[in-house]
């Protein structure tokens, strides 16, 4: 069941996005950890009304309120600790360097965090980098590295005189509620220079739809891009798209583009493309979302009635979505996470305490709900060693 909204698509301006998924009252910051349960329960919440644009294939939370976002960048880059992610980042950087001969060049990133990827581009291609991020924390090593400059802010054009050879952002665009002016400013600042490479990376909504990954929808991400809506955004704002790609096993979407003359900007990019597959997937996702939520609510109610002890495993944003969407405050008391920095903290919105795996030896849960099936065997093995005999489910 979809309903027409009065909201126009932020990418192509087509009116009346179709709302296909409604999720009331989820935490606006899924990854904030709280030291007191009451604070976690009382943290700010907002509604998700996911709208679909039939013209360009874009999806957007039409109920998103930008005023709720005070520190969107503060906790986004923790993936860099994973070896798999590190290997991916290196291959991505090397691919860009080879495709565009990015050697001895000048590179600008906004939303650079602590500069992990920028450092990689500079190491591998002997480049000079400027990173802009209001959440950047200065370090001695960075100050001694002459190739790298970090600025606490976002407006690169105020800090450097020359137009760079490459400009990029990663995992920023999905947080931007008005993407057209955001990309337009970049185009304007590049000016007459035709060979500045522009690169963006973000979550891939086509993957979320295909994998029916319903717990991936979070409030901080107001915009959900498919390859087509992303290309559309760039074509409308004065860029020639060189390549879009699905990376990181399909979970991320990337775009590489050069500026074109502003007169060449395409005003309508929806007509020539067949969106029937993505439209079907949107419909299937809506059905799956409602079914999965009902199924889980029924299951949890039965377990509660039977007095079963239920824990969830994996306190990332997926776990936070699961616990909040299903309103599990009274049904699940604990969530397990191996990250020691999360230990003892409380899940935003739903208030479960985060505990380490060893906690379960005493607690002896009846049911363990895994947020990520990849770790199923590993976790069962670990639990068996501790003498825990629980039933396992995948969220």
Return residues touching Zn ion (CB under 5 A).
9, 11-12, 14, 53, 55-56, 58
Tally of CA atoms within 13 A in the half-sphere of 337 that contains its CB: 22
Complex with Zn ion: residue 56 or 121, whichever CB lies closer: 56
Complex with Zn ion: residue 4 or 195, whichever CB lies closer: 4
- Alpha-carbon 63 to chain mean position: 18
Complex with Zn ion: residue 112 or 229, whichever CB lies closer: 229
Q: In the complex, what is the shortest distance from the CB of residue 22 to Zn ion, in angstroms, rounded to a whole number?
A: 20
Q: In the complex, what is the shortest distance from the CB of residue 267 to Zn ion, in angstroms, rounded to a whole number?
A: 13
Q: In the complex, what is the shortest distance from the CB of residue 313 to Zn ion, in angstroms, rounded to a whole number?
A: 38
Q: What angle do CA 171, 175, 177 make, to 5 degrees?
A: 140
Task: Please give the C-alpha separations between residue 219 and each of 6, 114, 133, 189, 281, in angstroms, as whole numbers.
Answer: 20, 24, 21, 30, 21
Complex with Zn ion: residue 14 or 339, whichever CB lies closer: 14
Q: In the complex, what is the shortest distance from the CB of residue 363 to Zn ion, in angstroms, rounded to a whole number?
A: 49
Complex with Zn ion: residue 102 or 233, whichever CB lies closer: 233
Q: What is the full DSSP assignment across 123-184? A: HHHT-EEEEE-TT----HHHHH-TTEEEESSS-GGGT-SSPPSEEEEES-GGG-S-HHHHHH
Q: In the complex, what is the shortest distance from the CB of residue 58 to Zn ion, in angstroms, rounded to a whole number?
A: 4
Q: In the complex, what is the shortest distance from the CB of residue 232 to Zn ion, in angstroms, rounded to a whole number?
A: 7
Map 25-40 to HEC letters.
Answer: EEECCCCCEECCHHHH
Q: In the complex, what is the shortest distance from the CB of residue 8 to Zn ion, in angstroms, rounded to a whole number?
A: 8
User: Partners of 353 in the beta sheet?
Assistant: 334, 346
Complex with Zn ion: residue 29 or 55, whichever CB lies closer: 55
How far is residue 69's CA from residue 347's CA, in Å, rounded to a whole number? 18
Complex with Zn ion: residue 58 or 119, whichever CB lies closer: 58
Q: What angle do CA 351, 113, 325 make, to 5 degrees?
A: 25
Q: What is the full DSSP assignment across 21-75? A: EEEEEEES-TT-EESSHHHHHHS-EEEEEEEE-TTT--EEETT--GGG-S-TTTT
- Token pair, residue 120, equals 């990689």
């Amino acid at each position: 069941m979809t309903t027409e909204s009065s909201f126009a698509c932020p990418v192509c301006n087509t009116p009346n996005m179709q709302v296909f998924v409604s999720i009331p009252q989820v935490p606006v910051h899924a990854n904030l950890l709280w030291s007191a349960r009451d604070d976690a329960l009382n943290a700010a919440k907002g509604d998700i009304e996911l709208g679909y644009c039939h013209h360009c294939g874009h999806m957007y939370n039409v109920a998103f309120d930008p005023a709720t976002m005070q520190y969107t960048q503060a906790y986004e880059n923790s993936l860099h600790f994973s070896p798999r992610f590190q290997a991916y980042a290196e291959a991505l950087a090397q691919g860009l360097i080879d495709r565009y001969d990015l050697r001895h060049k000048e590179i600008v990133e906004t939303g650079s965090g602590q500069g992990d990827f920028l450092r990689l581009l500079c190491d591998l291609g002997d480049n000079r980098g400027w990173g802009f991020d209001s959440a950047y924390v200065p370090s001695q090593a960075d100050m001694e590295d002459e190739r790298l400059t970090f600025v606490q802010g976002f407006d690169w054009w105020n800090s450097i005189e020359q137009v760079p050879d490459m400009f990029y952002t990663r995992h920023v665009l999905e947080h931007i509620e008005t993407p057209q002016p955001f990309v337009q400013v970049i185009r304007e600042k590049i000016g007459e220079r035709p060979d500045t490479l522009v690169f963006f990376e973000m979550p891939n909504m086509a993957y979320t739809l295909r994998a029916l990954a319903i717990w991936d929808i979070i409030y901080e991400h107001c915009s959900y891009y498919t390859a087509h809506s992303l290309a559309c955004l760039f074509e409308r704002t004065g860029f020639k798209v060189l390549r879009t790609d699905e990376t990181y096993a399909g979970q991320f979407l990337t775009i590489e583009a050069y500026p074109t003359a502003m007169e060449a900007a395409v005003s309508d990019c929806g007509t020539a493309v067949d969106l029937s597959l993505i439209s079907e997937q949107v419909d299937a996702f809506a059905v799956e979302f409602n079914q999965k939520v009902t199924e889980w609510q029924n299951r949890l109610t039965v377990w509660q009635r039977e007095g079963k002890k239920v824990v969830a495993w994996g306190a990332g944003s997926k776990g936070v979505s699961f616990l909040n969407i299903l309103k599990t405050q009274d049904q699940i008391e604990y969530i397990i996470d191996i990250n020691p920095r999360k230990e003892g903290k409380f899940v935003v919105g739903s208030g479960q305490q985060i505990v380490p795996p060893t906690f379960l030896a005493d607690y002896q849960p009846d049911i363990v709900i895994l947020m990520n099936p990849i770790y199923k065997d590993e976790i069962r093995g670990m639990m068996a060693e501790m003498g825990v005999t629980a039933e396992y489910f995948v969220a």
